[in-house]
Structures are given as structure tokens and as C-alpha cells.
Copies of this chain bind each other. A is one copy, B any other.
């Protein structure tokens, strides 16, 4: 389920958080779903249990998952409310990067072309994701 790139500079725990977030946004993980236990995921990914624990703590902090004592971690029922926040922050990131690009001398046309490339027709889009 998760794909860890040990050579990447982004921390392993953050890779797990990001991928979980992506699964939530795309609906692959629905509220109420049980997350794998720390131990099992640790074995699956060949990653230190501490690292998994850290990822789960971060997910809990963001309101994505809720621990059920004695049962495990579950996708929070209120996860939908958080996803709006996530999208808003993504938009903020985009805005920041655009401002940087503009300061670097990128024209509106450059950016529009880039947007075009990303939001192209559905048929071509499907295999990209």
C-alpha cells in the first residue's frame, strides 16, 4: 500500500503521512477504516517501528486518524472537515510558488501553459495518476 523511498531526502515518516493524506483525498481510505498496526506496517515497509509511530502521531495531530484503545488506529469520522483545510493549504502553496515564479520573471503565459499541461483532457489524464 505504501511506497517508501529510503534514498529520498524527505523523511520516511513524512512520506507515510503524505501518502495517507493522498489516499484520503482520493477516497481510497474512507472514514472508519482501520489502519495497519504499527508492528505490521513496520515489517511490511522494513521501517523502524518508531518511525511508523511518529507518522501515526502526526496523522492524529492533523485529525486524520483516531486511536481506539485496544483496537488500533482508525480513519477519523470527521476527516472530511480536515480535507478542506488540506486543499486550502495546497492552494496557498501554489500561490506562494507562483509569486516566486513571477518574481523570477515568469510570464503569465508561461504559467498558463503549465496549468494547461497539468489539467489536460481526461483521457490523457487518467494514466498520469
CB-nearest residue of chain B to A66: B7
CB-nearest residue of chain B to A50: B50
Using known A-B contacts A6-B68, A7-B66, A68-B6, determine if residue A104 contacts B90 with beta carbons closer than 8 Å: yes
* Nearest chain B CB to A98 CB, angstrom units: 4
A33 at interface, CB cutoff 8 A: no
Among B94, B99, B101, B102, the residue within 8 A (CB) of A111 is: B94
A87 at interface, CB cutoff 8 A: yes
CB-nearest residue of chain B to A92: B114
A126 at interface, CB cutoff 8 A: no
B101 touches A90 (CB 8 A): yes
A104 touches B86 (CB 8 A): yes
